[in-house]
Chain A
């Protein structure tokens, strides 16, 4: 069965960086893309970016593109999301989600990773 398993919770200080992993299993990793979506406490879903696992092409949300980098390791079927220069308002649950290339349907989601930014 398809699974996306994310790395564990992180606590970071303002100005630091965080890198979250998302290990995929149960399907051909390169046949789908991966989106990263975050959700601040009590807030809605915010799309952060997308990576085509097939060719490594990326799209980023405009307001985050200077601080976020998405990568994949096809040898281990793992996607990574790094956020730099963390601020308190980056505190959120971060999700990876498998995305269909043609419809952008996100059909499977990771369990979420809580990132807390606090001094």
Chain B
């Protein structure tokens, strides 16, 4: 089994850009798709990025995803931060028989 490691928290000001990393412990990050979910308190997660870089309809293009093979990590970048982007963000991937979530990153926009 592998793990996905995220920073516990990040904070940034409105209008700025923030990047959240997700590092895979073993196996290549490029071997299996990575998803990113946003979760607000009291609600189930919703997808902001799927299949590494794809954005569901309705998610603003301020959200983008990428993969870096050299660091074996995925990243979620949010530009033009808005106060409504404050939430918990989780990366998720899989291998042969396991789906794995990262530990989550609390984004504060202040």
Nearest-CB distance from B31 to chain A (Å)?
12
Nearest-CB distance from A38 to chain B (Å)?
11
Q: Main SS of chain A's interface residues?
A: strand
Which stretch of A66-74, A82-90, A106-114 is in the interface? A106-114
Cβ–Cβ < 8 Å partners of B98 in chain A? 47, 59, 61
The one of B1, B33, B99 in contact with A62, judged by C-beta atoms closer than 8 angstroms, is B1
Which stretch of B9-17, B18-26, B43-51, B74-82 is in the interface? B43-51
The one of B1, B50, B97 in contact with A107, judged by C-beta atoms closer than 8 angstroms, is B50
A-B CB pair tally, cutoff 8 Å:
62
Task: Tell me whether B45 and A45 are in contact (CB under 8 A).
Answer: yes
Count chain A CB atoms within 10 A of each CB in B88, B98, B103 and give the residue with the most.
Answer: B98
The one of B44, B51, B88, B93 in contact with A110, judged by C-beta atoms closer than 8 angstroms, is B44
Measured CA separation A106–B99 after assembly (Å): 10
B64 beta carbon closer than 8 Å to chain A: no
Cβ–Cβ < 8 Å partners of A110 in chain B? 44
Kindly state the interface size class of chain B when it binds its partner. Answer: 20 to 34
Q: Mark B75-110, 1 if CB is under 8 A from A, else 0.
A: 000000000000010101110011111111000000
Cβ–Cβ < 8 Å partners of B100 in chain A? 47
Nearest-CB distance from B105 to chain A (Å)?
10
Cβ–Cβ < 8 Å partners of A104 in chain B? 32-33, 35, 92-94, 99
The one of A61, A62, A109, A112 in contact with B46, judged by C-beta atoms closer than 8 angstroms, is A109
Measured CA separation A99–B37 after assembly (Å): 13
13 further contact pairs, Cβ within 8 A, besides A44-B102, A45-B39, A59-B99: A44-B88, A44-B90, A45-B92, A47-B92, A50-B99, A97-B44, A99-B99, A103-B51, A104-B92, A104-B94, A105-B51, A106-B47, A109-B46
Q: List 30 contacting pairs A-B, 8 Å CB cutoff, sorted by A.
A: A37-B101, A44-B88, A44-B101, A44-B104, A45-B39, A45-B45, A45-B90, A45-B92, A45-B101, A45-B104, A46-B101, A47-B98, A47-B100, A59-B98, A59-B99, A61-B98, A62-B1, A97-B45, A99-B99, A103-B33, A103-B50, A103-B51, A104-B32, A104-B35, A104-B93, A104-B94, A105-B47, A106-B35, A107-B56, A111-B44
